[in-house]
């Protein structure tokens, strides 16, 4: 057990993290199996790849064919005048880094040098007025504007459409990284949207507060990106998802500055706040947000537990959510992920090995565990010493009633320290030809077991159909009143008979399709982007899509703001828009409501034969 330290994040604070253009994290940081003796045999057994063999590294940056940027002189001048020439860049590295996020498709294509539609210019405004100036200049030039936070999204939320002929401006919000004010009475803080997780927490921690939002991408993602994708963090069970944490917003839009006041609740018609949440840069650029903050907890502990089966662990998580304890983390891995976690453990000392063997023997002989079916869980507690003690007791009773047991704080501490390193493993596997990715969803407690069975069953069936070696594993990562998030990780060794990305796409699509077929959502916290757009209508129904389309097209008729994301990928043909009368200085005069029909631009229906008369209804 350890107490939260105010300097917890100091080690990873960077103002502008130097993200790799081809992978996760900083150049010079990489995953290694050298200290994990069980990983090589595990991967060999399940994916038929020997990770000791050196793989295929990405191309060198110098080998990339970076196309020339196209920025009209008037726009270039206006941007330089607004920001200073030092904050306007068409450098190849800047353009490549800002072109995409970090989805598997993004990384594979980057590594191969398939760069797609790069932004022509990357700008780094230093405040809200400069963001507005960039937007004004870009709209006046009919350019495309794509807000960029940390570039960590994995849903294709950043890449400009391949067919885009207009100038593409990437607005990097990284200089807007300050906590502007804290209201201790309201327990809220106003924070600039470009603040990365570590910088944001460090500023809050220094004054005794925390936001409590810790996605696994924490080190490389920003407040604005979290808001624009409806992110969720490891401790969201206690603090809430970013959608719950966000009260007020300031957004630079084509109609002027949108201001959502940070009131605790409101009855002002459909929620504009909610419209901005998850809008992926399609309605404007979030410049700052007022978010809930909490006093740093006196105590913070993550305990490890083992359950005999997946069914028992799901039942325990459901009962914990229904009970009166409110742990900060509820996470449990299925047997496949539990085995993977054990395989990535560092080499242990002889004493640790003995202890671990004694525990396994106890579980098998005394508790009747099948070690292959066992599930590893982490449950976190935060607050005063008294509160933590009482919650541990209450949760402990539920765990025991489902046949589980606590294995102490060391596994939880290790998990807590290492969680931000785990993403590096994807690049390590890609180097060796293995494609690994994630798909996550949320479903009611009553459907969770079936969603899990359907998805894992479908993934394994697809591995067999494709003739690839594959592995699929899952954990429950966030619990709610009515259900939970299931987070699936899968990896395949491509067959060599087809394009590897095509085989990957078959697996990914099968999993996504199984989500919606099983009554679950297309994504719990990774947004829609382009990669999930195909399933939107099945998730929110056709009228739902029509509403979203009407909002986006009605508010941004020129499709200047991050076009192609969320719904556009579904449109049969592009809609011609009028760019006249851009009015950034006053009320939204140019924003006129358009009917859904106008947006969909449906062709005239062909004349139909007269319908058959309907039979009379049966009484
Ligand atoms: C290894 C890994 C682990 C991850 N773990 C998690 C996790 O635990 N939880 C989670 O929720 N997600 C996770 N993600 C996904 C990703 O980190 C989130 O989607 C995150 O919210 C994106 O933030 P960003 O700042 O990187 O945004 P970007 O990737 O830069 O942008 C994402 C979208 O938001 C828009 N946008 C960015 N900033 C603004 C702004 N200021 N105003 C308007 N629009 C804006 C962009 O235009 C784009 O459409 C993970 C991703 C990776 C690669």
Domains of the chain (ranges; CATH) run: 179-295 (3.30.465.10), 299-419 (3.40.462.40), 423-534 (3.30.300.330), 541-600 (no CATH)
**By mean pLDDT, which of 55-59, 243-247, 475-479, 519-523 is the weakest?**
55-59
Q: How remote is the CA of residue 278 from the centroid of ligand 1, in Å?
A: 10
**By mean pLDDT, which of 4-13, 179-188, 199-208, 419-428 is the weakest?**
4-13
Ligand 1 neighbourhood includes 193 CB (under 6 angstroms): yes
Phi, psi at residue 142, to the nearest 5°?
Answer: 50, 45
Catalytic residue among 220, 239, 381, 487: 487
Nearest in space to 43 (alpha carbons), one of 489, 505, 470: 470
Q: How far apart are CA 162 and CA 118, in angstroms?
A: 9
Q: Which atom of ligand 1 is nearest to the CA of 423?
A: 1
Does the annotation mark 471 as catalytic? no
User: What confidence tens digit (pLDDT) does each residue in 263-303 have?
Assistant: 999 999 999 999 999 999 999 999 999 999 999 999 999 99
What are the strands, taking DSSP E only, across 193-264? 209-210, 246-253, 256-260
Nearest in space to 109 (alpha carbons), one of 122, 121, 119, 100: 100
Ligand 1, atom 50: closest residue by C-alpha: 217
Q: Provide CB contacts within 8 A for 211, sequence distance 6+.
A: 189, 191, 200, 201, 204, 239, 245, 291, 292, 293, 294
Number of DSSP helices (H) and strands (E) in the chain, helices first: 21, 18
Helix or strand (DSSP H, E) at 167: none
Ligand 1 neighbourhood includes 228 CB (under 6 angstroms): yes
pLDDT band at residue 573 under the 50/70/90 scheme: low
Please give the pLDDT value at position 568.
78
Q: How far apart are CA 391 and CA 238, in angstroms?
A: 12
Calculate the average pLDDT of the chain. 89
Return the structure tokens found at 430: 């890609």
Ligand 1 neighbourhood includes 231 CB (under 6 angstroms): yes
Return the structure tokens found at 514: 């199984």
Q: What is the pTM of this model?
A: 0.91
Ligand 1, atom 2: closest residue by C-alpha: 217
- Is the four-CA dihedral 84, 86, 87, 91 of positive or negative sign? positive
Nearest in space to 346 (alpha carbons), one of 11, 2, 25, 31: 31
Q: Tell me what the mean pLDDT of segment 443-457 comes to.
A: 98
Residue 593 has pLDDT above 60, yes or no: no
- Is the four-CA dihedral 100, 146, 530, 460 of positive or negative sign? positive
Phi, psi at residue 593, to the nearest 5°?
Answer: -65, 140
């Amino acid at each position: 057990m350890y107490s939260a330290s105010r300097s917890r994040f100091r080690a990873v604070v960077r103002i502008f993290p130097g993200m790799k253009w081809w992978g996760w994290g900083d150049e010079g940081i990489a995953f290694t199996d050298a200290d994990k003796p069980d990983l090589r045999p595990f991967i060999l057994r399940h994916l038929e790849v020997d990770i000791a063999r050196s793989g295929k590294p990405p191309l060198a940056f110098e080998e990339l064919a970076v196309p020339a940027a196209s920025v009209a002189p008037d726009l270039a001048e206006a941007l330089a005048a607004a920001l200073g020439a030092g904050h306007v860049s068409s450098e190849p590295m800047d353009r490549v880094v800002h072109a995409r996020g970090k989805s598997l498709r993004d990384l594979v294509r980057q590594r191969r040098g398939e760069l797609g539609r790069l932004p022509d210019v990357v700008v780094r405004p230093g405040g809200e007025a400069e963001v507005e100036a960039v937007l004004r200049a870009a709209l006046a030039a009919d350019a495309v504007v794509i807000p960029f936070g940390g570039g960590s999204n994995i849903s294709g939320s950043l890449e400009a459409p391949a067919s885009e002929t207009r100038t593409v401006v990437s607005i990097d919000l990284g200089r807007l990284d300050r906590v502007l004010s804290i209201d201790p009475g309201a327990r809220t803080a106003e924070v600039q949207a470009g603040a990365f997780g570590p910088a944001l927490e460090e500023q809050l921690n220094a004054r005794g507060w925390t936001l409590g939002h810790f996605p696994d991408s924490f080190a490389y993602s920003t407040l604005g990106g979290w808001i624009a994708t409806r992110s969720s963090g490891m401790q969201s069970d206690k603090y809430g998802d970013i959608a719950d944490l966000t009260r007020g917003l300031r957004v630079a839009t084509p109609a002027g500055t949108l201001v959502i006041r940070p009131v605790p609740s409101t009855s002002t018609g459909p929620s504009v706040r909610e419209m901005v949440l998850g809008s992926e840069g399609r309605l404007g650029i979030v410049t700052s947000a007022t978010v809930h903050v909490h006093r740093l907890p006196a105590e913070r502990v993550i305990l490890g537990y083992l359950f005999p089966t997946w069914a028992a662990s799901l039942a325990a998580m459901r009962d914990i959510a229904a009970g009166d304890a409110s742990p900060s983390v509820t996470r449990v891995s299925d047997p496949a992920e539990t085995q993977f976690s054990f395989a990535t453990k560092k080499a242990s000392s002889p004493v640790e090995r003995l202890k671990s063997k004694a525990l396994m023997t106890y579980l098998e002989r005394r508790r009747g565990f099948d070690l292959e079916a066992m599930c590893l869980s982490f449950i976190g507690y935060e607050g005063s010493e008294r509160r933590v003690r009482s919650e541990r007791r209450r949760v402990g009773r539920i765990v025991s009633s489902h046949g589980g047991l606590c294995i102490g704080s060391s596994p939880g501490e290790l998990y807590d320290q290492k969680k931000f390193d785990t993403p590096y493993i994807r690049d390590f596997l890609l180097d060796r030809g293995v494609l690994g990715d994630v798909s996550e969803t949320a479903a009611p407690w009553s459907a969770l077991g079936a969603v899990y069975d359907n998805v894992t069953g479908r993934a394994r069936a697809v591995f067999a159909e494709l003739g690839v070696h594959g592995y699929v594993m899952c954990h429950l990562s966030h619990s709610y009143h009515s259900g939970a998030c299931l987070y699936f990780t899968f990896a395949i060794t491509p067959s060599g008979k087809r394009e590897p990305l095509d085989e990957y796409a078959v697996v990914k699509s099968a999993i996504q399709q199984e989500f919606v077929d099983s009554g679950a959502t297309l994504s719990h916290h990774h947004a829609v982007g382009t990669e999930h757009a195909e399933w939107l209508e099945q998730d929110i129904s056709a009228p739902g899509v029509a509403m979203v389309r009407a909002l986006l097209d009605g508010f941004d008729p020129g499709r200047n703001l991050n076009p192609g994301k969320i719904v556009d990928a579904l449109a049969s043909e592009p809609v011609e828009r009028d760019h006249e009368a851009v009015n950034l200085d006053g009320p939204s005069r140019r924003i006129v409501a358009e009917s859904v029909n106008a947006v969909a631009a449906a062709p005239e229906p062909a004349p139909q034969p007269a319908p058959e008369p309907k039979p009379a209804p049966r009484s």
